[in-house]
Amino acid sequence: MSHEKVVIIDFGGQYAHLIASRIRRQNVLAEILEPEAATVDLMGDESIKGIILSGGPQSVFDADSPQCDPAIFKLGKPVLGICYGHQYLCRSLGGEVTPGKIKEYGRAELQVTSDCALFKDIPEKSVFWMSHGDEVTQLPEGFEVCGQTEACGHAAVWNQEKNLYGIQFHPEVTHSEFGGQVLQNFLTICEVSGDWTIEKFFEEEKQKIKEQVGDKNVFLFVSGGVDSTVSFAFLSQILGPERVKGLFVDTGMLRQGEVDFVETSLKAIGADLTTLRSADQFLGNLKDQYDPEKKREIIGHTFLDVQQEFFSHNDLHGDWVLAQGTIYPDTIETGGTKHAAKIKTHHNRAPEVQKLIDEGKIIEPIKELYKDEVRALGEFLGLPHDLVWRHPFPGPGLGVRILCNATEEIVDIAPRGMGQLNAFTMQEKRKAFMVLPIKSVGVQGDGRSYRHPGLLKIDGFDLAKQEQLATKLINHYKEINRCVVMLGQNFEGSIKRIVAPKTCVDADRVEILQRADHIVTETLVEQKLYSDVWQFPTVLLPISFNDVGQETIVLRPIDSIDAMSASVGKLPQSFFQEVAEKILEDKSISAVLLDVTSKPPGTIEWE
């Protein structure tokens, strides 16, 4: 059965996903199409009830700005252009766009000026979010203005007869007060009934999967993350647990209690899960390894070795197909479109995997879903709430959160308060931060950086201020790419000596980090703050201050939507104090630091 749907023409990455997920929350299927593919796909497809042209980062004046076939305006379907899409729509139909005299970013008050269906149930004045330099200055024939802001006379326009609408503001962002209502009004204009629900998805997908799998069995690797776990539970329910085999690899670098938690949760719903206890193999391979990229590579290869060994002892050829928990953004972002430069290739779409997908040897039961829909499906399948709503956790696990050091570094701080590493620094810098003798990964400009963290010398607890200062300092001083502040310490007095011993990943260090990480999660849950942050890495640094303890813990609370950019999770000071005190009960810990770096210039993970 085909659902009624609205298609989003993707003029630039993340904007399109945000619009699509907002539309789906109103129970209407939204699909993303590349501008180049659009007209052919749209023609004659009765299930398409409306078209949205997304915003995008480019200007319509750029030579390589994305274009779609203007014929889509003649299909007789309602069209809504947003931001770039609005300008593109107006320009394509004979209107004029010019670089705006005033560039509008952020909050703007929209005044509704006519009785347009797009603004039904919206007050005459309300706040919408803007982000544009160019603006529509002359309307195409048949169009009239229906909304304006102080800086933008054509903030909303429509052609009533043809059902064409253009808005300069972004209804999809949560900061737009009545953004959801604008999108809902557009759906009413499209005359959709709202037939997209998780229950229906389950029923329809069930049929498809049964046909696709035939009489074969299914095998998949479970990481404990939401996507693979929901895929596994979904397949187990559809095909029966005897036909679906899950393999969970214990790398020895999982969170405290993770193996039990995943096993118990999945076995509770009747799934057939095998855990391979491969900690020795992973930790053995990481012995004497110090380089972050090399560590990742080793972890990746060890996964492959473990899987190969499993295959060689279990005959999984012939009657088996492989499943993976790919979700909708992963499939779209690897689409190889003209605009692919800014988009990553997901490992579930590597060329060799794509070949297997084309041959029908891999199934992806949740590839149509966004993360929030995957979670809804997980709840529908009866998975525990805590499992379905857990924070993302990286594949290489705590391995990328245990920093290593190939040679011992010692910094003796001279009485006037400067260390060897920053001996060359200027007066003002000495006041602002101290360079720590360890390096972490960051993202500055187009590439990744590998530089020192700066320990801010700053009083008070104002995370927003510290985050701002961090950005300024990192932009200015090339030897640092992230900033931390001191939350608590097991040493006395001011910092006189910092030692970074030679060390790599080993079972003892994993255990130290697991304990600290567990304290963070437990306290987040106890203080009902777990869902206030998107992710919360805890990182282990081989750093000892004043020769007290051998390790330092860094807390990295993250506020983000998609991990592409992130800011510091602004949790209350009392939370950080409690966590730091508990962590410092372990006397092998010298200090607890808080990372106050946004992404960019820092990355979320330290390696």
| Site residues, ligand XMP (CB under 6 A) | 392, 394-396, 535, 563, 599, 603-605
For ligand XMP, the closer CB: 245 or 599: 599
For ligand XMP, the closer CB: 182 or 604: 604
Residue 395, judged by CB atoms within 10 A of its CB (0-12, 13-18, 19+), counts as: middle
Span between the terminal Cα atoms of the chain, in Å: 46
Which one, of 439, 375, 366, lies nearest residue 403 by Cα? 439
Residue 281, judged by CB atoms within 10 A of its CB (0-12, 13-18, 19+), counts as: middle
For ligand XMP, the closer CB: 24 or 556: 556
Shortest separation between residue 25's beta carbon and ligand XMP, angstroms: 23
Distance (Å, whole) CA 144 – CA 167: 12
For ligand XMP, the closer CB: 326 or 603: 603
Q: 552: which strand partners?
A: 541, 591
Shortest separation between residue 564's beta carbon and ligand XMP, angstroms: 8
Distance (Å, whole) CA 403 – CA 20: 39
Shortest separation between residue 300's beta carbon and ligand XMP, angstroms: 8
Shortest separation between residue 392's beta carbon and ligand XMP, angstroms: 4
Give me the catalytic one of 4, 31, 34, 172: 172
For ligand XMP, the closer CB: 474 or 604: 604
* Residue 568 DSSP code: E
To the query of whether residue 476 is one of the catalytic residues in this protein, the response is: no
Give me the catalytic one of 17, 170, 339, 452: 170
CA–CA distances in Å: residue 170 to residues 98, 174, 216, 419, 570: 19, 9, 47, 49, 25
Q: At what angle do helices 226-239 and 258-268 cross, to 10 degrees?
A: 30
Token pair listed for 504: 């790599």
CA–CA distances in Å: residue 420 to residues 22, 186, 410, 417, 499: 53, 63, 9, 10, 12
Give me the catalytic one of 3, 34, 68, 83: 83
For ligand XMP, the closer CB: 85 or 224: 224
* Residue 240 DSSP code: -
Token pair listed for 116: 């347009």
Distance (Å, whole) CA 382 – CA 251: 27
Shortest separation between residue 215's beta carbon and ligand XMP, angstroms: 33
In 400-532, where does DSSP find H-type helix?
A: 427-432, 463-476, 507-526
Enumerate residues 6+ apart whose C-beta is below 8 A from 418: 425, 430, 434
To the query of whether residue 170 is one of the catalytic residues in this protein, the response is: yes
Q: Which long-range contacts (CB under 8 A, 24 or more apart) does 351-354 make?
A: 353/324
For ligand XMP, the closer CB: 241 or 252: 252
Distance (Å, whole) CA 16 – CA 84: 12
CA angle 105, 107, 110 (to 5 degrees): 110
**Contact between 53 and 80 (Cβ < 8 Å):** yes
For ligand XMP, the closer CB: 134 or 330: 330
* Sign, Cα dihedral of 78, 79, 82, 83: negative
Distance (Å, whole) CA 156 – CA 354: 42
Shortest separation between residue 493's beta carbon and ligand XMP, angstroms: 34
Token pair listed for 182: 């604008």
Shortest separation between residue 520's beta carbon and ligand XMP, angstroms: 14
**Contact between 474 and 432 (Cβ < 8 Å):** no
For ligand XMP, the closer CB: 100 or 392: 392
Distance (Å, whole) CA 513 – CA 248: 21
For ligand XMP, the closer CB: 54 or 334: 334
Distance (Å, whole) CA 441 – CA 605: 8
Shortest separation between residue 604's beta carbon and ligand XMP, angstroms: 3
Shortest separation between residue 383's beta carbon and ligand XMP, angstroms: 20
Shortest separation between residue 541's beta carbon and ligand XMP, angstroms: 16
Per the listing, tokens 């204009």 go with 189
Shortest separation between residue 347's beta carbon and ligand XMP, angstroms: 8
Q: Which residues are catalytic?
A: 83, 170, 172
